[in-house]
Structure 1
């Protein structure tokens, strides 16, 4: 499933100047795979970085300079209470948002998010453009 999720991002965001994974936790697999396959900047952030490649940031009060080139914000299994903050960040940046929730979680955003089924990966996406 993670290969399919990563493949979707590579396929749709290969020309992006930047991609940011928010609330990384200890799951670095997708971010590292994107760094191998994409030329744009791939940043990973968390409130408690687990290693040096993860940047310290609190999504509830984000440092916008960290995300300045991000055309995609994505988060894997973020707590539901962070969903509105992810949405706000993507809106401020004018970028897309992908949330891959736990299968038991719902999406808690103001805007409409489209359910995407890409091979074995299932996630929600909100496009900055009108076409979702």
Structure 2
């Protein structure tokens, strides 16, 4: 399933300046796979970075410089209480937003998000980045 999720991002965001994963936690697999296949700046953020490649950032008070040129902001299994902050950040930066929730979680977003079924990957997407 992760290869399908990664494949979707590669196919749709290979022309982005950067792609940011928010709340990477201890699961950097997708970002690492994207780094192998794209010549795009892949940025990982978390409130408690455990690795040097993960940038410290609190999505509730984000450092907008990190997300400045992002074509896509995505988060894998973020807590539902962070969903509105992800949406606000997406709107502020003009980046598309993808949320891959746990299968038991709902989406806590006021704006419309489209359910995407891509091969075996299922996630929600909000498109803001015109031209990608």
TM-score (norm 2): 0.96
1:106 counterpart = 2:102: no
Q: After superposition, give the CA deviation of every residue in 1:48-96 in whole Å (9 maximum; x if it has no partner).
A: 0010010000000000011111110000000000000000001000010
- State the alpha-carbon separation in 2 of the partners of residues 36 and 91 from structure 1: 28
Q: Which residue in 1 is equivalent to 2:44?
A: 44
What root-mean-square deviation, in Å, do the aligned CA atoms of Structure 1 and Structure 2 show?
0.9
- State the alpha-carbon separation in 2 of the partners of residues 61 and 112 from structure 1: 23
Structure 2 stretches lacking a partner, 5+ long: none
- State the alpha-carbon separation in 1 of the partners of residues 50 and 8 from structure 2: 26
Q: How many residues align?
A: 130
- State the alpha-carbon separation in 2 of the partners of residues 35 and 85 from structure 1: 25
Off by >4 Å, runs of 4+ in structure 1? none
Structure 1 stretches lacking a partner, 5+ long: none
